[in-house]
Structure 1
Amino acid sequence: MWFILVVIIAIITFQIVSKQKYKKLETEVLKKLGFSNWNIVSYLDEQVIVKSRQTLEKYDAVKFFKENKEKLEHAEMIIARKNDVTNVLRRFLEHNEFESRFQYKKIQKQINEVLKNAAAYRINVKYITSAGNNLASKEIALKKPSIDRFRDDPSLLMGKGEYNKYLKEKQKAALEEKHHEYYGKVNCIVDYANENRDFLVLNGSREEMDELVIQLFDRTVNSIKKIKTIDSEEWNLIKEFIARTETDIEKIVNNNQRILDYYESSDFLKIKDTCEALMSTQREFNEYINEKVQSISQLFGTRVMRTETLNTDVNNYIRPYKKTITPFTAEVSATVFASAENNSLEYVVKNFYPNKTMYPEQIQKLYRLVEELETLKDAKKIIENYKKEYQQYLGDVPEFVMKNDEAGFYSRLGFANIDESALTVEYKFSYTSSGGMAQRSFTVPMTEETIIELIKILESKLTAKAFAKEQRNLMTTKLREHIKARDNFTCCICGNSIQKEPNLLLEIDHIIPVSKGGCTTEENLQTLCWKCNRSKSSKIIS
């Protein structure tokens, strides 16, 4: 009797100890796995009740998600969670430090049960009668590929009308994405052009780049808007054009960079050091000529920098592009455009000199402009003579530098740069039809001869009194040369002459400045060298 009792107590004690050891092992394993218990995923995830056996037989995942579209995202989350749990448990089973422990097989069994629950997203479908009898059921098990199929192809869960609408929206979205892709390509090129434009030094480079960007806008932005299908052949044509334009712009930048690299080279710096020592006596002259160029630019009206964009649609936005433009542009009607072509200067006056009260002041500016242009003509000859004198010190300048940037080369050595394009204004007349389909324009270059003609037209519109007053300011090329010859091509202040200094720049000065009532008459005119004229300015020297 006592023996039986001892055995029973031993068995009970063993069971208690075993249970405690398992509990301890389970706690350690769960902690290792990062779980609080084994109920981390459920076997069944959804439950559906149908009212007929036929419905039960036909019921599938498509029907479930058609009726419960909001459940698709939920199903994805559950599948992801179950996959995470599965990965953790399988890695644990492959290798862990608990394998030799007592009752580990019991842990394995528990883990396998969880793996079974995590194997799929399960929908339990029951056929229950109106009386509440559960007559049949079935289980729909879905794994990640099945769920992904619904996400990748939403048409599986759509009716015909909804599917057609979906297709249209998808095609529209794809077309918009294509638009943005190509607009992005254009934007990259425009950004690149904007970043490099201010560093272009070669003559005509900026204009060439401006033209390429304008063509890029015209051939891409406008064309892209018109393409209605994603598989249109136009895309390839536009792509090729964008690539060509990008190559051309890069070529412009690279050519300029090649020049800039030379200007930073030891070869050029050596030439520059030599010329700087020789040019110390001419530096003031070059500064004076540069001042003249600047003053003429101001008389003409300064160029302006503005940003342009040919497309302001928010969704199809194209970067603005910097370009230099002249402010002298008149947008006119077709009738005015035709008349302006036949009588350009009259229409320059009408459109750009509309205020008659300003004519006297504008005429004075134009007279001064002619004088300054004459001075710069003489200065240009002198600068060319200086350049010839310096040839012996230049050594072997690379051909590509002199061919592409001769003016820039000499300018960096300290020579004044008389860029004739910067001294010329082109008054522009432009006509655009109401629909924008027809565009025409022409320009009126303001050469010295044209300016004189413009002065005559403005003077003809003055009153007799005002005209007589303006005639006092008339300075002709013939009169200018007469005064120089009269003064024996000698400065009336310092006595320097072209006999002493062949490259001397002589100017005609009003003894009593026009601004102080002086007239353009022989008695009030004198020959001065550029230095004396610069220092005298508008003063009256007794």
Structure 2
Amino acid sequence: MFLVIAIIVIIITVKIVTEQKYKQLEAEVLKELGFSNWNIISYFDEYVTVKSRQTLERYDDIKFFKENREKLVRAENIIKRKNDVAATLMRFLENNEYKSRSQYRRLTKQIDVVLKNEGAYRISVNYISSAGNNLGAREIAVNQYGIDRFKKDPSLLMGKGEYNKYLKEQQKEALNQKHHEYYENVNNIIDYANENRGSLVVKGSQEQLDGLIAQLFDRTVNSIKKIKTIDSEEWNIIGDFMNHLKGQIEKVVSINQKILEYYESPSFLKIKDTCEVLMSTQREFNEYITEKVQSISQLFGTRVVRNETTKDDEYNYIRPYKKTITPFTAEVSATVFASAENNPLEYVVKNFYPNKKSYPEQIQKLYRLVEELETLRDAKQIIENYKVEYQQYLGDVPNFIMENDESGFYSRLGFANIDESVLTVEYKFSYTSGGGMAQRSFTVPMTEETIVELIKVLESKLTASAFAKEQRALMTKKLREVIKNRDNFTCCNCSNSTHVEPNLLLEIDHIIPVSKGGYTVEDNLQTLCWKCNRAKSDKIIS
């Protein structure tokens, strides 16, 4: 009897010791894993009761989440939590320091039980009769793939009415995204143009860029807004146009960059050094012509110069494009625009010569302008002659330079630049409708003939003509040629002549200046070379 009791005591003691060792091992492992107990994840996550066998048989994950759509996020979080726990346990089983412990095998069985709970959000569906008896049950397991399916296609959880509304919203959202995608493409083109417009050095490139951007606005921005369906053919048409325009803008920028690179190259710098030596004798002439070119615009009426933001979109879809309005521009109403087209000089006076008190002074400037323009035309031909003479020193200039920036090339070499735009200033009238949809403009080129007509319009508005005006009016192109022939195309001061220097610039001077009472008669006129005329100015030389 004593032996039996002893054996029982030993068995109980062993069990107690074994259990203590297991509890100690379990506590150490749970602490290392960061778990409070093994119930960290459960097998079932939701319990649903149905009232018929038919409902039980048809019950699935779609029905559950249709009725409990808010639990979709919870289900995803639980699946993630289960997977994280399982991953932690698997790493532990693969590598730990407890494998030699006597109770380790028992511990792994406990871990296996926990691992069976991972990987899915499980729903226990039970058919309970009205009497409270459990007449059937089924398990629904939803893994991450199932959750993703619902997220990707929310219509699975929608009724017919809700689904139709969802489709409309999706189509609207897709259309908005398409609009924004195209607006962003427009913005990228505008950004590129804004970033590079300051580096455009070739004459006319800025205007060319402005014109391309204007086409971009006119052809795309309003058209994008009007497209109402995602599958419209207009998307492709507008897209092709934008790509074409982008290529044109990039071409303008690329040409300018290529030209700038050439101007910084050793071959051009060598040509420039050579020309600087050769042109030392012409430097004063070039400075004189440059002064005349710069003074031309001061002889006209009101200059309208301002920065303009092009198409600052009301919905803030489109970024603004900055450009400079051409000088001598009048923004007018549709009525004034139509009248100006029919009587341009009258409206040039109204818009650019608004101060009648300044008419006498302005008339004098315009008379002088006619003379200056003729001088510059003569000088332009002389400069062209110089260019021909210098060809032997230029070497092989790349064709793309002469094709795209001939005037800039010669300007960098020190030649005075007289552009046709200087010789023919234009007054511009522009009309833009309130909504910006209609835009029209026309220009009035100020040739010598037009300036003479403008002078007549201004004079007709004065009650009396000043003496100086009368004298200036007598200085005609024919009279200038008479004086040059009379003086044998020779400067009356230094005796230099076109017979000696074919490229000599000759001008007609009032011996007694008009400003000091001099008359425009042959006896008071003389031929002077540009240097002597520049030195004399409006002085009386005895």
So what's the TM-score if we normalise by structure 1? 0.85
Residue 397 of structure 1 corresponds to 397
Residue 425 of structure 1 corresponds to 425
| Shift in CA distance, 115/361, structure 1 to aligned 2, threshold 3 Å | farther
| Shift in CA distance, 144/382, structure 1 to aligned 2, threshold 3 Å | same
Q: Determine if contact 2:274/2:393 at 8 Å carries over to the other structure.
A: yes
Residue 457 of structure 1 corresponds to 457
Distance 1:505 1:24 in 2: 113
Alignment of 1:234-383 (within 5 A): 234-300=234-300, 304=305, 306-310=307-311, 312-314=313-315, 316-322=317-323, 325-333=326-334, 336-383=336-383
Distance 2:299 2:79 in 1: 77
Residue 73 of structure 2 corresponds to 73
Q: Determine if contact 1:518/1:524 at 8 Å carries over to the other structure.
A: no
Measured after TM superposition, the shift of residue 45 of structure 1 is: 3.0
Measured after TM superposition, the shift of residue 380 of structure 1 is: 1.1
Residue 210 of structure 1 corresponds to 210
Q: How many residues align?
A: 539
| Shift in CA distance, 207/50, structure 1 to aligned 2, threshold 3 Å | same
Q: Write the letter of the residue equivalent to 1:395.
A: G
Distance 1:517 1:2 in 2: 154
Distance 1:151 1:110 in 2: 35
Distance 1:177 1:520 in 2: 76
Q: Determine if contact 1:125/1:138 at 8 Å carries over to the other structure.
A: yes
Measured after TM superposition, the shift of residue 432 of structure 1 is: 5.8
Measured after TM superposition, the shift of residue 179 of structure 1 is: 1.1
Name the SS for the 2:141 alignment partner.
Answer: strand
Measured after TM superposition, the shift of residue 226 of structure 1 is: 1.5
| Shift in CA distance, 391/39, structure 1 to aligned 2, threshold 3 Å | same
Alignment of 1:509-520 (within 5 A): none
Q: Write the letter of the residue equivalent to 2:281.
A: T
Alignment of 1:168-179 (within 5 A): 168-179=168-179
Distance 2:328 2:313 in 1: 22
Residue 159 of structure 1 corresponds to 159
1:443 matches 2:443: yes
Residue 521 of structure 1 corresponds to 520
Percent identity between matched residues is 70
Residue 143 of structure 1 corresponds to 143
Distance 2:43 2:160 in 1: 35
Distance 1:187 1:255 in 2: 22
Q: Determine if contact 2:509/2:525 at 8 Å carries over to the other structure.
A: yes
1:470 matches 2:469: yes
Q: Write the letter of the residue equivalent to 1:166.
A: Y
Q: Write the letter of the residue equivalent to 1:147.
A: I
After the TM superposition, which of the residue ranges 6-15 and 420-429 deviates more from structure 2? 6-15
Measured after TM superposition, the shift of residue 177 of structure 1 is: 0.7
Q: Determine if contact 1:497/1:504 at 8 Å carries over to the other structure.
A: yes
| Shift in CA distance, 240/496, structure 1 to aligned 2, threshold 3 Å | same
Name the SS for the 1:117 alignment partner.
Answer: coil
Distance 2:466 2:131 in 1: 115
Distance 1:265 1:318 in 2: 36
Name the SS for the 1:415 alignment partner.
Answer: coil
| Shift in CA distance, 203/20, structure 1 to aligned 2, threshold 3 Å | same
Measured after TM superposition, the shift of residue 101 of structure 1 is: 3.7
Distance 2:14 2:290 in 1: 109
Residue 90 of structure 2 corresponds to 90
CA deviation profile, 1:209-229 (whole Å, cap 9, x unmatched): 333222222222122112111
Q: Write the letter of the residue equivalent to 1:333.
A: A
Q: Determine if contact 1:66/1:157 at 8 Å carries over to the other structure.
A: yes
Name the SS for the 1:504 alignment partner.
Answer: coil
Q: Write the letter of the residue equivalent to 1:72.
A: L
Name the SS for the 2:122 alignment partner.
Answer: strand
Q: Write the letter of the residue equivalent to 2:355.
A: N
| Shift in CA distance, 240/7, structure 1 to aligned 2, threshold 3 Å | same
| Shift in CA distance, 34/295, structure 1 to aligned 2, threshold 3 Å | farther
Distance 2:460 2:187 in 1: 52
Distance 1:4 1:479 in 2: 152
Structure 1 segments unaligned to the other structure (5+ residues): none
Distance 1:483 1:6 in 2: 151
Q: Write the letter of the residue equivalent to 1:104.
A: Y
Q: Write the letter of the residue equivalent to 1:521.
A: T
Name the SS for the 1:273 alignment partner.
Answer: helix
Distance 1:299 1:15 in 2: 117
| Shift in CA distance, 408/110, structure 1 to aligned 2, threshold 3 Å | same
Distance 2:460 2:37 in 1: 105
Name the SS for the 1:65 alignment partner.
Answer: helix
| Shift in CA distance, 104/363, structure 1 to aligned 2, threshold 3 Å | farther
CA deviation profile, 1:425-470 (whole Å, cap 9, x unmatched): 3233345677877654432211122112111111111112x45563
Distance 2:516 2:306 in 1: 38
After the TM superposition, which of the residue ranges 124-133 and 448-457 deviates more from structure 2? 124-133
Measured after TM superposition, the shift of residue 87 of structure 1 is: 2.8
User: CA RMSD of the aligned region, Å?
Assistant: 3.6
Residue 189 of structure 2 corresponds to 189
CA deviation profile, 1:88-128 (whole Å, cap 9, x unmatched): 33344344454444322233223223223333223345567
CA deviation profile, 1:374-428 (whole Å, cap 9, x unmatched): 2211221221222122122112222332233221211111111111124433233
CA deviation profile, 1:252-308 (whole Å, cap 9, x unmatched): 333333333322222222111111111122223223322322222344466746344
CA deviation profile, 1:183-240 (whole Å, cap 9, x unmatched): 2222222222232333334444333333322222222212211211111111112222
Q: Determine if contact 1:44/1:123 at 8 Å carries over to the other structure.
A: yes
Q: Determine if contact 2:493/2:528 at 8 Å carries over to the other structure.
A: yes
Q: Determine if contact 1:52/1:127 at 8 Å carries over to the other structure.
A: yes
After the TM superposition, which of the residue ranges 145-154 and 529-538 deviates more from structure 2? 529-538
Distance 2:414 2:99 in 1: 88
